[in-house]
Amino acid sequence: MKIFVITGAGVSAESGLGTFRDKDGTGLWARFDPMKLATPEAFRRDPGEVHAFYNARRRNLLASEPNAAHIALARLETGLAERGGNLTLVTQNIDDLHERAGAARVLHTHGELLKARCVICGETSLWKDDLGVDDPCPRCGKKGGLRPHVVWFGEVPLHLDEIYGALNDADLFVAIGTSGSVYPAAGFVSQARRRGIRTCEINLEPSDNADQFDERRYGPASEAVPAWVDEIFVADR
């Protein structure tokens, strides 16, 4: 079986990373203005403020651990490969918790918080410390060009050709812990439906496009995802 999974902030919520939009108004974008922190214009206007926001998120990430949902998805990748199938794991998350749980291949369509990209030479470098406007690029040595390797509003998400290729070829599409409000990921379910691919949503509560899914499973990701993975292996025996 070929399974395509897209994850969102909900998969990392129980690791303490928070989500962007929550019905009780505690999400990141209720407390911080994305237009001041997550756009190319914001970075041009006040790079120090944007760096400070992502530095705080990077520190939070380094103090966090993968949870049972990340671990179950890594188990799914191995188990499907052993059965001659495969998992395409796409995440909108900029954290590295899927990798730390053991996932070998993760497509980060919104970039990676533990990388910095130099706008002068174009190279991407691993970056675990705070990032600042005066840091020189480890590759070209120039100062003033490093930015978080994350996709901001108004920028094109990464790996889209590979993502749509795998989505169109999947037997099952599963959206986990995403509100379904940010494109292109929010449109994956309708694309899967057009291709006749079965669709499943796993979330704490119904997402914005819940009615488009064939199957809906609600509960905390740390419980709902391992339970779903167990069922996949029973069905795929």
Residues with a catalytic annotation lie at 110
- How big is the CA angle at 164 (ends 160 and 170), to the nearest 5 degrees? 145
- For residue 157, the SS3 value is coil
* By CB under 6 A, residue 181 contacts ligand OAD: yes
CB of 25 to ligand OAD, least distance (A): 12
Contact by Cβ (8 Å): 51, 133? yes
> Which range touches ligand OAD (CB under 6 A), out of 75-83, 97-105, 177-185, 189-197?
177-185
What is the edge-to-edge ordering of all strands in the sheet holding 172-176?
A: 106-108, 86-91, 2-7, 172-176, 198-203, 215-218
CB of 134 to ligand OAD, least distance (A): 25
Q: Which of 152, 196, 189, 153 is nearest to 171 (CA)?
A: 196
* By CB under 6 A, residue 57 contacts ligand OAD: no
DSSP 8-state code for residue 85: -
Strand pairing category for 2-7 and 172-176: parallel
Strand pairing category for 172-176 and 198-203: parallel
Task: Round to whole Å and give the CA distance between 203 and 13.
Answer: 11
Q: Which of 206, 145, 141, 140 is nearest to 178 (CA)?
A: 206
CB of 202 to ligand OAD, least distance (A): 7
Q: Which of 204, 212, 214, 233 binds ligand OAD (CB under 6 A)?
A: 204
* By CB under 6 A, residue 151 contacts ligand OAD: yes
* By CB under 6 A, residue 179 contacts ligand OAD: yes
CB of 50 to ligand OAD, least distance (A): 12
* By CB under 6 A, residue 19 contacts ligand OAD: yes
Between 63 and 102, how does the x/- string for binding to ligand OAD read (CB under 6 A)?
A: -----------------------------x----------
* By CB under 6 A, residue 33 contacts ligand OAD: no
Residues that bind ligand OAD in the complex, under the rule CB under 6 A: 8-10, 13-14, 19-21, 27, 38, 92, 110, 151, 153, 177-179, 181-182, 203-205, 207, 220-221
